[in-house]
Amino acid sequence: MAELIDGRAVAAEVVEKVTAQAAGLIAAGTTPGLAVVIVGEDPASQVYVASKSKKARECGFHSVQHTLPAETPEEELVALVEALNRDPAIHGILVQLPLPDHVDAGRIIQTIAPEKDVDGFHFINVGKLGTGELATAFVPCTPAGSMLLLQRVRGKDLSGLSAVVVGRSNIVGKPMANLLLAANATVTIAHSRTADLPALARTADILVAAVGRPEMVKGDWVKPGATVIDVGINRIPAPEKGEGKTRLVGDVAFEEARAVAGAITPVPGGVGPMTIAMLMANTLTSACRAAGRKPPVF
């Protein structure tokens, strides 16, 4: 039976460290500031934004939330982001995705100043990650958190280990592959057009599932003793709980994989809590850089 990698516990450690470091920064005259922008009434986005703002306040940050109507013109959103870029009290800017169809999300993301891009989506941060400049890059929060969980099992140096990342998104798959490369793993990115995906997955000492398909990765895809990082968060019907009820599952068939793997992240309680924790870490890092202080290492 695989070891469970407890994302809630690791996230709590990260937040505790952020809070302690933030207190020292505040005492020296700099309060880390996070601005979260949401456009429209998407219920899931509302929940995510509220939790991010709440966690920022718990860490002692200056927390600002801009809630805009769905019909907000693109130019107005650009102007808001540019104003936040100029605001010295704000160190991190997060624009919640998805945005309404009439807004060019790519343009909005590239408007965010790279030094305040705590989501790590600006082309400058993407380029730094891709070329191994991790010391000055902002890394997207979900891959960054996934790597911290992986390090708890495998350590920081992954030399000699084979990693397969299932999923090639700009938000998780590609940055995750770059982080694994930087840690000296031998990395393959797989996706929907990969030939014989199960056979490839079985070669992996480290298997990362980030495809957004409920329980797609079966137990017989997992190499015995492998470390499985399940990034997926999918809501599926749960009639056993009652009519209309749902439950959360990952991209991995958990019970099957758990019987084979050496270590695995559960859903919920694995990668999910790490995403907000790393957002707080990135915001603290930005504030430290703005204050001329060396950021902590997580």
What residues act catalytically?
52, 96, 119
CA distance 77 to 149: 35
Both structure tokens of 136: 């000055």
Q: What is the side-by-side order of every strand in the sheet holding 33-39?
A: 62-68, 33-39, 92-95
Q: Identify the CA nearest to 174 among candidates 189, 158, 186.
A: 189
Contact, 99 vs 105, CB < 8 A?
Answer: yes
Both structure tokens of 110: 């590239």
E strands within the chain? 3-4, 33-39, 62-68, 92-95, 162-166, 186-190, 206-209, 227-230, 234-237, 246-249, 263-264
Burial classification of residue 97, based on how many CB atoms lie within 10 Å of its CB (0-12 exposed, 13-18 middle, 19 or more buried): middle
Contact, 198 vs 220, CB < 8 A?
Answer: yes
